[in-house]
Chain A
């Protein structure tokens, strides 16, 4: 792709999908569009590390959202079990779709949390098992606790899988086909999935060791950290994504927005999300 093509693709997205991802509408603008867009991008919600003082408000909103989603009827696609069922039925593993599908999944889940918690600035807090290897205490108390779990408060993530050396090996590998996995249907783990992803699922255990793992509220905090790792690799370290039509033409259509309406999410939108819709508290390139 030439630089001109890349720029045109970006501008199209910024005018459409990217702005939609950020929750903006040019048509509704009353102020100069450029100023609104710049402000909205710069002030987009920040996903924060659980344990940091700033994450307290998001955890409170997360508790309200989880309780509200569990109380929804199963006819509502935002219902807690219905959301977990999405992972069971559609969640790709051992392929290059693993990382983008889970990013889109978290993005829509975050929108639902925002709507049901009443916190329009909510961003999904993440569990940084690389620095805090114990399951966060908040996830042993209702409504974030979960009964079908093996991991106790003393269970500790193993640095062989989540420590600095393990993450450095991932961040230093330049080929996305190794880091994220190969195109389907080859069926091979990428470094992120076979290492920290699988390990933490197994450490928490119980339902987290199954494809219904999103029933455990820790799932979303775990995958937030995995998404942060992808952001570090792709955006902060500037390792490229595939330049392949098979990759860029992928769309996800199984998700719903905060109000329960179906959405269609392109791979380009997924790629841009950390630059326009949310960012991490550690993100170097914003």
Chain B
């Protein structure tokens, strides 16, 4: 099959939230959000962290570095999940962000389901922010026909 024909076939895509656990924010410098530990999250290969950032008014430079646990920020470390940047427009509320975290969970070898899961949001620029975050168990399907 040519690249063009394959490209136009596409695939049935699905991104369904099966369960989600809202986090509780603890504000001490970096923003730390704690989620209940569950075996479902530990075992799943499709876990996403979704979050909104409040306190962004007008054009804002910067973003958040996201880590699991409360480790020292190191983007080369196992706990690093990813980075998101702000881009706010007048009249438009900032959209929610999404980061897959299963790979980081696996790297950390998180095996104790009773242990609370924490995510740490480190602003790249010093400004007051609030984060509302949720850990979500996802069904992500990519099915070529």
Which residues of A are at the interface with B, using a C-beta cutoff of 8 A?
A: 1-3, 6-7, 9-10, 13-14, 18, 93-94, 150, 158-161, 165-166, 169, 173-178, 182, 187-191, 193-195, 197-199, 201-203, 205, 209-211, 234-235, 238-244, 247-248, 268, 271-272, 275-276, 285
**A165 contact set on B, CB distance < 8 A:** 75-76
**A238 contact set on B, CB distance < 8 A:** 6
Q: Which 6 A-B pairs have the closest CB atoms?
A: A243-B10, A94-B95, A209-B59, A198-B85, A240-B11, A199-B85
Give the Cβ gap from A78 to chain B, nearest Cβ, in Å: 24
Q: Tell me the bound Cα distance from A13 to B5 in angstroms.
A: 10
Q: Tell me the bound Cα distance from A242 to B95 in angstroms.
A: 22
Give the Cβ gap from A96 to chain B, nearest Cβ, in Å: 9
A176 and B13 in contact (CB under 8 A), knowing A2-B145, A205-B61?
Answer: yes
> Once the chains bind, are A188 and B98 in contact (CB under 8 Å)?
yes
**B65 contact set on A, CB distance < 8 A:** 160
> Once the chains bind, are A202 and B61 in contact (CB under 8 Å)?
yes
CB of B19 within 8 Å of the partner chain:
no
**A187 contact set on B, CB distance < 8 A:** 95-96
> Once the chains bind, are B15 and A209 in contact (CB under 8 Å)?
no
CB of B7 within 8 Å of the partner chain:
yes
Give the Cβ gap from B84 to chain A, nearest Cβ, in Å: 4
> Once the chains bind, are A241 and B95 in contact (CB under 8 Å)?
no
6 intermolecular pairs with C-beta atoms under 8 Å apart: A2-B145, A10-B5, A93-B92, A160-B124, A189-B96, A243-B13
CB of B109 within 8 Å of the partner chain:
no
**Which of the residues B1, B76, B97, B145 comes within 8 Å of A194, measured between beta carbons?**
B97
Q: Tell me the bound Cα distance from A173 to B6 in angstroms.
A: 19
Q: Which of B15, B61, B86 has the most CB of A within 10 A?
A: B61
CB contact list, B1-52 vs A, under 8 A: 1-15, 48, 50
CB of B100 within 8 Å of the partner chain:
yes
CB of B62 within 8 Å of the partner chain:
yes
Nearest-CB residue, chain B, relative to A159: B75
Q: Tell me the bound Cα distance from A276 to B1 in angstroms.
A: 16
> Once the chains bind, are B9 and A240 in contact (CB under 8 Å)?
yes
